[in-house]
Amino acid sequence: MANHRSLLILLVLSIYFVANIHTCLCAPNISAVCSKQERLALLKFKHSVSDVADILSSWVGNDCCQWERVHCDKVTGKVDSLHLRRREDIYGDQDWLVGNEVSSSLRHLRNLKFLDLSANDFRGSRIPEFIGSLKQLSYLNLSSANFSGVIPPHIGNLSSLKVLDLASFPYDNRLMSDDMSWMSGLSFLKYLDLSYVDLSKAQNRDMVFYLMPFIEVLSLSGCELTNADLGTLSNSSTTLANIKHLDLGYNHFKGQFPGFFQNMTSLEFLDLSYFNFSLSRNSTNFLSTIHYFPKMRLSSCGLHNMHLSPNHLNFTAISIIQHLDLSHNLIGRRFPSVLTNMSSLLSLDLAGNMLNSSVPIMPNLLRLDLTWNEFEHIEDVGIWRQCHLKELTVSDIYPRIEITDSPKNVSECSEYAFEKLNLDLSLKGAFPADSLGRMANLRGLSLSENKLTGPIPESLGRLRLLEELDLSQNQLTGPIPTFNWKLTTLDLSYNRLKGSIPESFGSLTALTYLDLSSNLLTGPIPTSLGRLVSLQLFFVYSNSLNGTVPVPIGQLTELRYLDISDNHLTGSIPESIGQLTKLRKLEISRNSLGVITEAHFAKLSMLKELDISSNSKLTFNVSREWKPPFQLICVDLSSIKIINGFPKWLRTQKKLKVLRLSNASITGPLPTWLRKMPVIDLLDLSHNKLKGPLTNLPNEGSVDVSYTVYKALFLQDNLFNESIPMSLCRRTDLEYLDLSRNRLTGRILECLGNMRNLNTMQFSSNQLSGVIPSYSSFSEENLIQVIKGVSLEYTTTLKYVINMDLSSNNLAGEIPVELMSLSALLGLNLSNNHLNGGIPDSIGNMKALNSLDFSGNQLTGLIPTSIAALNFLSYLNLSHNNLSGRIPTGNQLQTLTDPSIYVGNRDLCGVPLPKNCSNNEDQTAMHKNNSKAANHKSNKVWFYMDIMCGFAAGFWGVIGVLLFKKHWRHKLFMFAEETVDKIYVAVVLRVDKMKRGRESA
């Protein structure tokens, strides 16, 4: 009978299901299509923003009502909702829009009721005034979208508004208001969030409290409010009569606690964080006067154990509290006993205090946070005794405490209620296999950044409800065990795991995030990783046939994040990876894998980040005509072998922000199509055999200053020639510029001084000539190196290095005095050039300098005594110049005792050289003598210059006249002939007279 009834029910459901399918498939579509004006308005908005994550990729076609994130009224077809909030993603996807401002085209969406632009980046622009014309808006969310400036009062025109969220960033760009009277038009508002909007100079602030009779949620955290603002509330018994959630945290309240809260009978949540209780007249009895609510946040209020003693609290009043946040106070040593007796407590946050004693058992407590305390023993936390807790967080405990399984002499729980357990940055010792293996209800377990040792226990695989497991950054060894099929997130990175990647991973049907990077794994990549789709379908149908409960189709997902980099994996890469249609990030770098072809990317249309670098045996073999299915944001093909020349398929990638092709065996000139590519934030083409000019670097479009990666251009170790192109000066966003070890000629461009963000400039080992430009626009934070005599490679610390390297070129002239104003410069290398003149006396202004190399030039004069003021100098090379005089002493110079620092300067004397300065000459006197000698030498030069100029003027003054005056020439020649004749006659007569004198004698 029961079977017949079941069949009847199944038949009815089947008929209903088929009928509904028929209705859905065959019924005419009566919904209206959006208007052309609204479609064009949305398209203009799309074109006004940068959308690297393709959030708006579905915005094509004529019917905008079918586009994602757009909703239309089913009857009129008018656009009534825009859901453009940044997509929250645990995998680090860059899913937000970037724009210089909100396009005014949205003003044409007159029927808009819902507008959410939150968590995007509008680059500090103003909230547009036209939003005030969207009269039908009932929901407006512009929070955390990087708006700044004054809130436009036009928002007060939105009389239908029920939700308004303008929460600003706590730092950098902030919204502000100079007058809150616009609030008078928002009488139906139920939700208002102005967190971190600066209201310190706003007039009519009291309107926030008085003119909203229906307000239920009010957040004014970090609005620069003071006690005066709270004082105005005490005058009305009807203020915020319907309020349920009130956040006044992180303002400037102090002293006596206001009593008006007692009139708020509907209040359920109160945040008074950063309220300075210690300045009240009787701070220890202060909390007894507070009216308590079910949810209270009293973080960073200076509370200590005396405040929380039973003698100073109204125990009847506090018994109403269910969720209490006392984080970042001064609660020390012993756990406050008053909290133990609060049977109403469900959630307790004591993070950032100084507890180090045993945590009691609180049977009704469900969530407990003990982060940043001072526990010394795991027994004090009582993990193995907390039978009723569902969530426990004990992270960031220093020094780390020893973790052990539950002692035999301690009463253990027959069953643990734990669903989430977070013990990051707190533990050391062997993995607690037995106790964790008995927490059957665990859904999330995080033990990252500890010092856990030993293998991952098989018992974790028996936790059938486990969905998220993070064991990264430990010292775990052994093979990877088998895990259950419900796992969605698995992070085992930065351990010492060995063996192969299990084939069983292919059965983890819910897995979306897998990180096995930085281990000692060997063998091939299992083909099962790329067959998750077919395995999922097989799993569903095979279990259905066997009578077990099938996995709901809606829960089937595919891998989105795969990182197996930095292991010892070998063999071919399975082509099945190319079937992971939802994969967004693929990292297989730093292994010994084989060929990769077009088949490996066959269906990876969602791929955004690709890193296959540092695989010495890997060949990237795709045809020159290949058109990939994806639009990458970041790609790293460094240290592999790329065939067919510069990758032509890159011309299809219009959203690239990071491109690394270093050491990829690429030869020849840069292709001309590369010039038409959008500007790439980080471009690395170093260590190849690229040649020709630099004029074909990506140069299309404007510079995107908002993207999070640093801006760099690495072209070192190639064969580039000709001069530095003027187009390079457009990259005013650059932080790192390396053109070293090429064959560049010509002068260093003056316009490079406009790169205000530049931290590192390396032009060494080229054939650049001329003088070093005197960049007047250099600031302290600019730039620019070989530091301490060796070429350093900066990775994660590159951001903090400020160096300049112009060594091994043909630069001439004097060292610009302007360079000495770079007081933040860490390294300066001008060696092996043709620089002359003296070392600037102001070199002592470069206080941060720790490496200085002027060797191999033609510098003259004294070493300035101010060089002794460089207290951080650890490397100095002034060898092979023409410096003279006594070597300065004192401070950090006393530690630089290597004579080779000064070798090749014939006239230098003093320590550490063996040549002593004669008669203990005073440095100042020697400087004066050298100055006199220099002046004398200068005077001699000017004397001879005067003679030469006088001779030239006289000579050409006569000869020039004779060239143009024929009559003068005749007169001159006649005069000369007569003069010669007279001289001749006089000489003959004189000689004849002398002869006669001898004869007479």
Which pTM does this prediction carry?
A: 0.81
> Could you read off the pLDDT of 420-475 as tens digits, one per residue?
999 999 999 998 887 888 899 999 999 999 999 999 998 888 899 999 999 999 99
Instruction: Answer yes or no: is pLDDT of 706 > 80.
Output: no
% of the chain exceeding 90 in pLDDT = 55
The residue type of 557 is T
Q: Which residue has the tokens 């030069």?
A: 941
How much is the pLDDT for 280? 60
For the segment 803-809, the average pLDDT, to the nearest whole number, is: 90
Contact 486, 512 (CB under 8 A): no
How much is the pLDDT for 822? 78
How much is the pLDDT for 235? 56
How much is the pLDDT for 924? 44
Instruction: Answer yes or no: is pLDDT of 982 > 50.
Output: yes
Q: Would residue 309 count as lying in a domain?
A: no
12-26, 233-247, 335-349, 442-456: range with lowest mean pLDDT: 12-26
> Could you read off the pLDDT of 101-148 as tens digits, one per residue?
999 999 999 999 999 999 999 999 999 999 999 999 999 999 999 999
Q: Would residue 63 count as lying in a domain?
A: no
For the segment 657-665, the average pLDDT, to the nearest whole number, is: 95
5-14, 350-359, 678-687: range with lowest mean pLDDT: 5-14
Query: Which residues form the domain of 237?
Result: 68-247
Lookup: tokens for 618: 């890997």
The residue type of 547 is G
Instruction: Answer yes or no: is pLDDT of 639 > 50.
Output: yes
- Domain count of the chain? 2
Among 50-54, 304-308, 690-694, top mean pLDDT goes to 690-694
Residue 172 belongs to a domain with what CATH number?
3.80.10.10
Q: In angstroms, what CA-CA distances link 523 with 428, 574, 601?
A: 30, 12, 22
DSSP 724: P
**For residue 700, with 0-12 CB atoms within 10 Å meaning exposed, 13-18 middle and 19 or more buried, which class applies?**
exposed
For the segment 278-291, the average pLDDT, to the nearest whole number, is: 64
% of the chain exceeding 70 in pLDDT = 78
Instruction: Answer yes or no: is pLDDT of 587 > 70.
Output: yes
How much is the pLDDT for 950? 60
Q: Would residue 614 count as lying in a domain?
A: no
Q: Would residue 808 count as lying in a domain?
A: yes
How much is the pLDDT for 927? 47
pLDDT band at 400 (very low <50, low <70, confident <90, very high): confident
> Could you read off the pLDDT of 61-87 as tens digits, one per residue?
999 999 999 999 998 999 999 999 987
> Could you read off the pLDDT of 483-514 as tens digits, one per residue?
888 899 999 999 999 999 999 888 888 999 99
Count of alpha carbons within 13 angstroms of residue 368, beta-carbon side: 27
Average pLDDT, the chain: 83
For the segment 176-193, the average pLDDT, to the nearest whole number, is: 94
Q: Would residue 527 count as lying in a domain?
A: no
Rounded CA-CA distance 123/568 in Å is 43
How much is the pLDDT for 954? 56
Rounded CA-CA distance 225/83 in Å is 32
How much is the pLDDT for 5? 45
Lookup: tokens for 943: 């004397």
The residue type of 355 is L
**Higher pLDDT pick, 410 / 838:** 838
**Higher pLDDT pick, 22 / 166:** 166
Instruction: Answer yes or no: is pLDDT of 817 > 60.
Output: yes
Instruction: Answer yes or no: is pLDDT of 957 > 60.
Output: no
For the segment 297-324, the average pLDDT, to the nearest whole number, is: 84
Write the DSSP assignment of 830-842 as a string of letters.
Answer: --SSEEESPPPGG
Does residue 725 have a cis peptide bond before it, meaning omega lies within 30 degrees of 0?
Answer: no
How much is the pLDDT for 107? 96
Give residue 845's Cα distance to chain centre: 31
How much is the pLDDT for 856? 95
Q: By three-state DSSP, how is residue 104 classified?
A: helix
Nearest alpha carbon to residue 894 among 909, 879, 873: 873
Q: Which residues contact 802 (CB under 8 A, 6 or more apart)?
A: 759, 760, 781, 782, 783, 784, 822, 824, 825, 826, 827, 848
For the segment 258-284, the average pLDDT, to the nearest whole number, is: 77
For the segment 780-791, the average pLDDT, to the nearest whole number, is: 45
Instruction: Answer yes or no: is pLDDT of 995 > 70.
Output: no
How much is the pLDDT for 358? 92
Q: Decide which of 207, 226, 247 is a domain's last residue.
A: 247
How much is the pLDDT for 276? 83
Cross-strand bridge partners of residue 996: none
Instruction: Answer yes or no: is pLDDT of 776 > 80.
Output: no
Rounded CA-CA distance 527/488 in Å is 19
pLDDT band at 702 (very low <50, low <70, confident <90, very high): low
Instruction: Answer yes or no: is pLDDT of 543 > 50.
Output: no
For the segment 638-657, the average pLDDT, to the nearest whole number, is: 93
Instruction: Answer yes or no: is pLDDT of 27 > 60.
Output: no
Q: Decide which of 216, 247, 278 is a domain's last residue.
A: 247
Instruction: Answer yes or no: is pLDDT of 281 > 70.
Output: no
pLDDT band at 891 (very low <50, low <70, confident <90, very high): confident
Instruction: Answer yes or no: is pLDDT of 407 > 70.
Output: no
pLDDT band at 909 (very low <50, low <70, confident <90, very high): very high
> Could you read off the pLDDT of 722-736 as tens digits, one per residue?
999 999 988 888 999
Q: In angstroms, what CA-CA distances link 265 with 87, 215, 324, 986?
A: 37, 14, 19, 137
pLDDT band at 369 (very low <50, low <70, confident <90, very high): very high
Q: Would residue 142 count as lying in a domain?
A: yes
How much is the pLDDT for 946? 61
Q: Decide which of 883, 909, 935 is a domain's last residue.
A: 909
Instruction: Answer yes or no: is pLDDT of 14 > 60.
Output: no
How much is the pLDDT for 969? 59
Q: Would residue 535 count as lying in a domain?
A: no
Element (H, E) at 470: strand 468-470
Q: Would residue 435 count as lying in a domain?
A: no
